[in-house]
Amino acid sequence: MNQTREKILVTGAGGFIGHHLVRFLKKKGYWVRGVDIKYPEFSPKDEADEFLLLDLRNFRNTMEAVRGIDKVYNLSANMGGIGFITSVKADVVTDNVLINVNIAQASRLAGVKRIFFSSSACVYPRYKQKESRITPLKESDAYPADPEDGYGWEKLFSEHMYEKLHEDYGLDIRIARYHNIYGPEGTYKGGREKAPAALCRKIALAKDGDEIEIWGDGEQTRSFCYIDDCLEGTYRLMESDFKKPLNMALIDW
């Protein structure tokens, strides 16, 4: 149990990773405030000590979210599977840049002790991912930059912004690059689901003799990370002294 009862803010607490993180931190004894524009789909909102419905694109709302908070886990984003993020690029970039700038500035002004930013494997250059059997991407491979056109650029920009706020203002930052986090209680339909959930849904609904559609040529590889491992890695990173972007991925498929 956490003896100091630090107050933690989890943004994006209505989403897949966010609501799991709220539960994880509560079990460790922290006081947790969840914030999102929606409640969790598959778990009760009262798993958090306090759950606020706030649109963090509005700076005033963001200041309310960080009030009295010691540490922030910033998981809030307009996002989904690759089909979604490549179809609404303008909305994704605009919404997420606003959210990330607001959370960074509000946390700095409110005297938040430490802030975690959830980045993505989408920051990695497309020119390093043209072959099916590529060498696993390491953190330094992000530059020279050529990320996914939209969501990837937004994540890479936000990483850079957080690093500059650390350099200029001393904002204590932690950054993880998530690689396709999957597990129970995640979105599985509607276009925002990730590949494992989409495959499970297609197989579950298929009748004998049916075929299912899988994007790609069958030779592609992807990195995945199970939600429990993601939570443990995220927490350990947050409690460490490591301030550079770090991959959060365990296996290749």
pLDDT tens-digit map of 72-81: 999 999 876 6
Q: Is the pLDDT assigned to residue 209 strictly greater than 90? A: no
**Contact, 29 vs 1, CB < 8 A?**
yes
Distances (CA, A) of 180 to 16, 56, 140, 155, 225: 12, 24, 19, 15, 6
> What is the identity of the amino acid at 232?
E
Residue 56, classed as helix, strand or coil, is coil
- Of 51 and 2, the one with more pLDDT: 51
Q: How far apart are CA 97 and CA 117, in angstroms?
A: 12
Q: How far apart are CA 36 and CA 156, in angstroms?
A: 23
Rounded to an integer, the average pLDDT of 115-133 is 89
Q: How far apart are CA 107 and CA 112, in angstroms?
A: 5
Q: How far apart are CA 34 and CA 52, in angstroms?
A: 6
Give the tokens for residue 95: 């919404």
- CA neighbor of 214 nearest in space, from 193, 199, 192, 197: 199
169: Cβ contacts below 8 Å, ≥ 6 apart: 108
Lowest mean pLDDT: which of 78-82, 86-90, 175-179? 78-82
Does residue 151 carry a catalytic annotation? Answer: yes
Give the tokens for residue 194: 């990730």
- Count the alpha carbons within 13 Å of 161 in the hemisphere toward its beta carbon: 21
Q: How far apart are CA 177 and CA 230, in angstroms?
A: 10
Name the pairing type of β-strands 251-252 and 223-226. antiparallel
pTM of this structure: 0.88
pLDDT band at 221 (very low <50, low <70, confident <90, very high): confident
Active-site hit among 30, 73, 124, 151 = 151
pLDDT band at 86 (very low <50, low <70, confident <90, very high): low
Domain 7-182+220-252 -> CATH class: alpha beta
| HEC sequence for 184-232 | CCCCCCCCCCCHHHHHHHHHHHCCCCCCCCCCCCCCCCCEEEEHHHHHH
The share of the chain scoring above pLDDT 70, in percent, equals 90
**pLDDT reported for residue 83:** 62
Average pLDDT across the chain, whole number: 89
pLDDT digits (tens, 9 = 90+) for 28-68: 999 999 999 999 988 887 899 999 999 999 999 999 999 99
Q: Is the pLDDT assigned to residue 134 strictly greater than 90? A: no
**pLDDT reported for residue 85:** 63
**pLDDT reported for residue 234:** 97
